[in-house]
């Protein structure tokens, strides 16, 4: 059985991703750490607890960073609703978050669980802080599956950047350069045919389970916002797509290993995930700029394509 540690800014798609992990018979979720992102960190922890409760899980939930490393927190509640779950007034969870800070819990959990799979669904602030506290945890993680980046096309918060990376680009840069075995799952992978279409939504609702109804209901505002943003109908679920890959790497059909870095200084391209697709970072004209990444010596696995039918089947199985 695989052990997972999940870091999340729990909003609507994060909640569905949590359900996939908590419902998987092949996974033991050791802890969930909350971070400020889509919504404030306290609400993110509350939503994680509520989702775990729906799954019948007592997984510990820890409260992490209230804001990015060097910037003010800018939420995405316009997309997910003020409470992150579509503003349906879900009741308070019965449990409370743990008293231990998330970063401390993350370091201890990884140190005590060599081979753990780290899945990140929000800004990477908690991960960066944990690495600063104990850089050695990077070598104890077997996989670090990150939902983040606009790797081949436009972003969802600026033309150049995806929200999770844009929200705290300094943290993302630390994580990318840390030596963690990163697998980068970009926003493009949840769009087009990978989004839940009306037929998929009807199928989920026909499963007639509390989890299936919750998964569609809590994404009601996100469905509207996705259409406003892209003109595409359906529910895009970037975090569940990333979770499906964490659960089963066979979902990936096209992947490369490249040097990757994150832009932190330009307001035009803040948070841009720059992928060395043509392997030119080591050329003399580029070495000076890419020196910190080259020094780290670790390439990032970049996911380009997935088996859409496989990803959706994993989702349906978890919700049924």
Over residues 55-106, the pLDDT tens digits come to: 999 999 999 999 999 999 999 999 999 999 999 999 999 999 999 999 999 9
d(CA 54, CA 51): 5
What confidence tens digit (pLDDT) does each residue in 102-135 have?
A: 999 999 999 999 999 999 999 999 999 999 999 9
- Tell which residue, 54, 316, 55, 317, has the closest CA to residue 203: 316
Is the separation of the CB atoms in 33 and 62 below 8 Å? yes
- Tell which residue, 179, 68, 71, 184, has the closest CA to residue 126: 68
Is the separation of the CB atoms in 54 and 16 below 8 Å? no
* C-alpha pair distances (Å), 289 with each of 73, 121, 124, 292: 28, 29, 23, 8
Q: What residues are paired with 101 via a beta bridge?
A: none
- Tell which residue, 94, 100, 126, 96, has the closest CA to residue 5: 126
* C-alpha pair distances (Å), 302 with each of 143, 226, 255, 305: 13, 24, 6, 10
Q: What is the residue extent of each domain of the chain?
A: 2-319
The predicted model scores a pTM of: 0.97
d(CA 75, CA 163): 9
Is the separation of the CB atoms in 307 and 314 below 8 Å? no
Considering the segment(s) 2-319 as one domain, its CATH architecture is Alpha-Beta Complex (3.90)
The band of 297, judged by pLDDT with boundaries at 50, 70 and 90, is confident
According to the model, what pLDDT value does residue 296 have? Answer: 83
What confidence tens digit (pLDDT) does each residue in 200-227 have?
A: 999 999 999 999 999 999 999 999 999 9
Pairing label, strands 300-306, 252-258: antiparallel
The band of 152, judged by pLDDT with boundaries at 50, 70 and 90, is confident
SS (H, E, C) 254-283: EEEEECEEECCCCCCCCCCEEECCCCCCCC
Cβ neighbour number for residue 77 with a 10 Å cutoff: 17
- Dihedral (CA of 224, 228, 234, 239) sign: negative
């Amino acid at each position: 059985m695989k052990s997972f540690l999940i870091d999340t800014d729990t909003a609507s798609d994060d909640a569905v991703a949590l359900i996939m992990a908590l419902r998987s018979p092949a996974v033991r979720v050791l802890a969930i750490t909350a971070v400020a992102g889509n919504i404030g960190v306290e609400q993110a922890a509350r939503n994680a607890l509520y989702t775990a409760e729906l799954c019948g899980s007592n997984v510990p939930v820890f409260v992490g960073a209230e804001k990015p490393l060097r910037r003010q927190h800018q939420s995405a509640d316009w997309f997910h609703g003020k409470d992150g779950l579509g503003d349906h007034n879900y009741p308070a969870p019965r449990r409370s978050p743990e008293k231990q800070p998330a970063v401390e819990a993350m370091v201890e959990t990884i140190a005590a669980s060599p081979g753990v799979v780290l899945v990140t669904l929000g800004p990477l602030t908690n991960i960066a802080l944990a690495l600063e506290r104990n850089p050695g945890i990077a070598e104890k993680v077997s996989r670090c599956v990150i939902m983040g980046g606009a790797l081949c096309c436009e972003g969802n918060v600026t033309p150049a950047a995806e929200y999770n990376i844009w929200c705290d680009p300094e943290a993302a840069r630390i994580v990318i350069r840390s030596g963690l075995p990163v697998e980068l799952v970009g926003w493009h992978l949840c769009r087009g045919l990978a989004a839940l279409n009306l037929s998929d939504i009807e199928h989920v609702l026909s499963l007639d389970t509390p989890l299936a109804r919750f998964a569609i209901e809590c994404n009601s505002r996100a469905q509207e916002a996705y259409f406003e943003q892209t003109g595409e109908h359906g529910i895009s679920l970037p975090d569940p797509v990333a979770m499906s890959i964490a659960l089963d790497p066979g979902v990936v059909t096209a992947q490369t290993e490249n040097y990757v870095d994150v832009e932190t200084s330009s307001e035009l391209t803040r948070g841009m995930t720059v992928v060395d697709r043509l392997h030119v970072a080591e050329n003399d004209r580029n070495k000076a700029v890419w020196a910190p990444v080259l020094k780290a010596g670790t390439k990032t696995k970049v996911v380009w394509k997935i088996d859409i039918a496989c990803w959706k089947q994993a989702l349906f199985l978890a919700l049924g």
